[in-house]
Structure 1
Amino acid sequence: MAEKVLMKGNEALAEAAIRCGCKRFFGYPITPQTEVAAYMAKRLPKIGGTYMQAESEISAINMVYGAASAGVRAMTSSSSPGISLKTEGISYLIGSDLPCLIINVMRGGPGLGGIQPSQSDYWQATKAPGHGDGHILVFAPSTIQEMVDLVFDAFDLAETYRMPAMILADGMLGQMMEPVVFPEKEVVEHEKPWAANGHQGKREHNIINSLYLKPDELERTNRERFARYEIIKEKEARVEEYLTEDADIIVVAYGATSRIVRAAVKAAREQGIKAGMVRPITVWPFPAKAVAKAAETASRMLCVEMSLGQMVEDVRLAVNGKVPVEFYGRTGGIIPTPAEVLEQIKKIAGGAK
C-alpha cells in the first residue's frame, strides 16, 4: 500500500504533475501559489525536466503554448491577477486545440486585491478563460488528496479532448497541509499525431495555428469544437452528493467552501433539519443534471461561495425555477464559518427545531 505523505497543497500539486509525466513548467511567482513554482524549480532539473521562470505571466503561458505544440506535457501556475494576464495565451491554446494544465490558486480581487483565499475567479474560469468562443476543463478540488488525484485526470482529459485544463484551487487549499497518497498509475500519454515535433520525412508538416481569415472556416472550426463540448458535458461532469436522499434543504458549494458546508450540514442534521450538500467537482462542465435532480425533492436550495455570487447563477439556471435558490457569500479573503452557514440553513428552514 502506498505511503501517506504530509504535504502542503501547492507542493502536492507540483509533485502530482511530475508523476504524471510533466517535465516542462513555465511560470512566474505570485502569492499564494509561489510554492508550486519553487517546488518545480527544485525538482525538475534533477529529473531531466525544464523549469523556466519567465519574465512575465504573458511569457509563461506562451511558453506553455510552444511546449504543448510539440506534444509534451506542459504546465503553468499562477494566482488570480496572473491568470488574468494569461488569458490571451489561454485563448490561443483553446483556438489551437492544445492540451496543457493551468493551476489557479485563487486570491481576493478585483485588482491586486489581497492574498487571502477567494473563489471570485469562477466566472473567469468557467465563462471567459479567454476571448472568443471557447471553454477549458475546470476541476475544483476540496482536499489536498483530491488536488493530487485531479491532476492525473486533468492531464488525461486535456489530451483526450485536446483542450486546456485548469485546477481551480484557492489560497486555503494551496497553503494548508494534509496527508496524501500519490496514485501508483502507469503514465500513458496519448498519441499526438497533430504535434509539431519533427516530421522526419515521414509525414506532412503539422502546423499549429488559431488564425482563420475565412469566416466560414472559423465558424466551422468553432462549431466542431462546440460539438466536442457537448460530449464533454454529457460524459465528464462530476459531482459529490452528501446526505441528499431525504434532504429538504440542499446546499451547493465547491472547493474549500464545501468543507465548511459539510460541517454545517452535519450540524443542521443534529438539530433536526434535513439538510444535504451537492458539491460540483467539475465546474466546467457544470453538473447541471445532478443539481436539477436534487431540486426535485428539496423545497429550497442555498449556494455558498467565497465570492459575492458567481456559481449561484449556474445553480439557478440548472434549477430553472423549480425551487427558490438563496445565496450566502463572504469575499475579500474572508472564509465563511460553519456557524455562519448553519445560521443561513436555519433561516431557510424557519429556525431550529
Structure 2
Amino acid sequence: MSNKILMKGNEAIAEAAVRAGLAGYFGYPITPQNEITAYMSWRMPELGRAFVQAESELAAINMVYGAGATGVRVMTTSSSPGIALMQEGISYMCGAEVPAVIVNITRGGPGLGNIGPSQCDYNQATRGGGNGDYKLVVYAPHTVQEAIDMVYKSFDIAEKYRNPVLILGDGALGQMAEAVVLPEMKEIIDEDKGWELNGAKGRPPRSVKSLRLAEGKLKEHNWHLKDKYNEIEKNEIMYEYNEDNYDVLVVAFGTAARVAKSAIKELREKGINAGLFRPITLWPYPYQALRAASKNAKKILVAEMNTGQMLFDVKLAVCDDERIDFLGKPGGEVFSPDEIVNKVKNMVGD
C-alpha cells in the first residue's frame, strides 16, 4: 500500500501532472495558483523537461498550442482573469484538435475581483469563453486527492479525444493541504500518434490548424467535432450520488460540495433526510443521472459559490422549477456548513 504524504493542493496538482508524463509546462504567475508555477520551475528542469514562464497568459496558451501540436503532453495553469485571456488560444486548440490540460484555480470576480475561492467561472468553463462551436471536458475535484486523480486522468482523456481538458478548482482547493497518495511516474514515450507535427521523415506532410477556408470544409469539421463531443457525453460523465432516502437533494460541485457533505451529515443527525448529488464532470453534465435522482426529492437545493450558474443546468435536468431553491455565496467566500443547514431547515419548515 502506498504511503500518504502531506501536500498543498497546488503543488499536488503540479506533481500529478509531472507523474502523468508532462513534457512541457508554460505559465504565467497569478494568485491563487502561483505555487503551481513555482513548483514547476524547479521540478520540470530537474527531470530534463521544459518549463517556460511566459511573458503573459496569451503567450502561455499559444506556447501550449505549439508544443501540443508536436504530440507531447503539455499543460498551463492560471486563475480566472488569466484563463479569460487564454480563451482565443483555447478555441484555436479545440478547432485544431490539440490535446492539453488547463487548470483554473478560480478566484473571485468579475474583473480582477479578489483572490478568494470562487466558482464564478462555471459558465466560462462549460459554455466556452472563446468563439465557435467547441467544448472542453471539465472536471471539478473537491479534495486534493481527487484533484491529483483528475489531473492524472486528464492527459489520457485529452489524448483520447484530441481535445483540451480543464480542471476547475478554486483558491480553497489550491491552498489547502491534505494527506494524499501520489500516482506512479509514467515514462515519456516518443511514439507517432498519426497526427502530430514531428517532421515528415519520408511520409506525406501533416497539418494542424483551425483555419478552414475552402467551401464546406469548416461545416464538415464542425460536424466531426460534434460527433466527438457526442462520444464524450456517452462515455465520460462522472458524478457522485448518495442514494440513501432523502427529502431534500443538495446539488453542489467542488468546494461547495465538500461543505455540503458536512451539512448533510448534520442535517441527518437532526432528523432531516438530505442527500447529495455532486457532478464531477461539469461538461459533459450528468443531466440524466440528476433527473433520475431528483425524482426521489421533495425539494432540491443548488448550492454554489456564485450568484447562480450551475443552477441553469440543474433546471434543465429537473424540469421542475417549483422544487428548486438556490443558495449562493459569491465574492470569493466559502460556505459554512451552518448556512446550508439553515437553508435546508427553512425549506422543509423547521
TM-score, normalized by length of structure 1? 0.96
CA gap 1:93/1:126 in 2 versus in 1, 3 angstroms: same
**Identical positions, percent:** 48
Which residue is equivalent to 1:198? Answer: 199
Task: Render the CA deviation track for 1:32-73: whole Å, top value 9, x for unaligned.
Answer: 001001000011111010110111000000000001000010
CA distance in 2, matches of 1:275, 1:141: 22
Which residue is equivalent to 2:27? Answer: 27
CA gap 1:286/1:187 in 2 versus in 1, 3 angstroms: farther
Instruction: Tell me the secondary structure at the aligned position of residue 297 of structure 1.
Output: coil
CA distance in 1, matches of 2:279, 2:112: 28
Moved over 4 A (4+): 185-191
Q: Are the equivalent residues in 1 in contact too, given 2:140–2:167 (CA < 8 A)?
A: yes
Q: CA deviation at 1:129?
A: 3.6
Q: CA deviation at 1:215?
A: 4.8
Q: Are the equivalent residues in 1 in contact too, given 2:21–2:186 (CA < 8 A)?
A: no
1:225 maps to 2:225: yes
Q: Are the equivalent residues in 1 in contact too, given 2:23–2:188 (CA < 8 A)?
A: no
CA gap 1:215/1:267 in 2 versus in 1, 3 angstroms: farther
Which residue is equivalent to 2:316? Answer: 317
Pairing of 1:303-342 with structure 2 (within 5 A): 303-321=302-320, 324-342=323-341
Pairing of 1:125-164 with structure 2 (within 5 A): 125-164=125-164
Which residue is equivalent to 1:104? Answer: 104
Q: CA deviation at 1:245?
A: 2.9
CA distance in 2, matches of 1:125, 1:191: 31
Pairing of 1:1-353 with structure 2 (within 5 A): 1-184=1-184, 186=186, 192-201=193-202, 203-242=203-242, 244-321=243-320, 324-351=323-350
CA distance in 1, matches of 2:122, 2:7: 26
Instruction: Tell me the secondary structure at the aligned position of residue 228 of structure 2.
Output: helix
Q: Are the equivalent residues in 2 in contact too, given 1:129–1:135 (CA < 8 A)?
A: no
How many residue pairs match? The answer is 349
Task: Render the CA deviation track for 1:294-338: whole Å, top value 9, x for unaligned.
Answer: 111111111000000000100110112276211101111111110
CA distance in 1, matches of 2:253, 2:174: 15
What residue identity is the alignment partner of 1:81?
P
Q: Are the equivalent residues in 2 in contact too, given 1:106–1:171 (CA < 8 A)?
A: yes
Q: Are the equivalent residues in 1 in contact too, given 2:27–2:57 (CA < 8 A)?
A: yes
Q: CA deviation at 1:213?
A: 1.1
Q: CA deviation at 1:292?
A: 0.4
Task: Render the CA deviation track for 1:129-187: whole Å, top value 9, x for unaligned.
Answer: 42111001100000000000001111101100110001100000000000110123755
Q: CA deviation at 1:214?
A: 3.0
Q: Are the equivalent residues in 1 in contact too, given 2:21–2:185 (CA < 8 A)?
A: no
CA distance in 2, matches of 1:73, 1:22: 5
Moved more, 94-103 or 225-234: 225-234
Across the aligned residues of Structure 1 and Structure 2, the Cα RMSD in angstroms comes to: 1.3
Q: CA deviation at 1:128?
A: 1.5
What residue identity is the alignment partner of 2:2?
A
Q: CA deviation at 1:105?
A: 0.1
Q: CA deviation at 1:126?
A: 0.3
Instruction: Tell me the secondary structure at the aligned position of residue 77 of structure 1.
Output: strand
CA distance in 2, matches of 1:145, 1:297: 31
Instruction: Tell me the secondary structure at the aligned position of residue 120 of structure 2.
Output: coil
Instruction: Tell me the secondary structure at the aligned position of residue 197 of structure 1.
Output: coil
CA distance in 1, matches of 2:3, 2:237: 30
CA distance in 1, matches of 2:219, 2:266: 52
What residue identity is the alignment partner of 1:277?
L
Q: CA deviation at 1:188?
A: 7.9
CA distance in 1, matches of 2:215, 2:301: 44
Q: Are the equivalent residues in 2 in contact too, given 1:2–1:184 (CA < 8 A)?
A: no
Task: Render the CA deviation track for 1:233-276: whole Å, top value 9, x for unaligned.
Answer: 1111100012x331111000000111110011111111111100
Instruction: Tell me the secondary structure at the aligned position of residue 326 of structure 1.
Output: strand
Instruction: Tell me the secondary structure at the aligned position of residue 326 of structure 2.
Output: strand
Instruction: Tell me the secondary structure at the aligned position of residue 31 of structure 2.
Output: coil
Q: Are the equivalent residues in 2 in contact too, given 1:9–1:177 (CA < 8 A)?
A: yes
Moved more, 168-177 or 230-239: 230-239
Structure 2, unmatched stretches of 5+, are none
Moved more, 304-313 or 180-189: 180-189
Moved more, 6-15 or 287-296: 287-296
What residue identity is the alignment partner of 1:59?
A
CA distance in 2, matches of 1:166, 1:191: 25
Q: CA deviation at 1:76?
A: 0.2
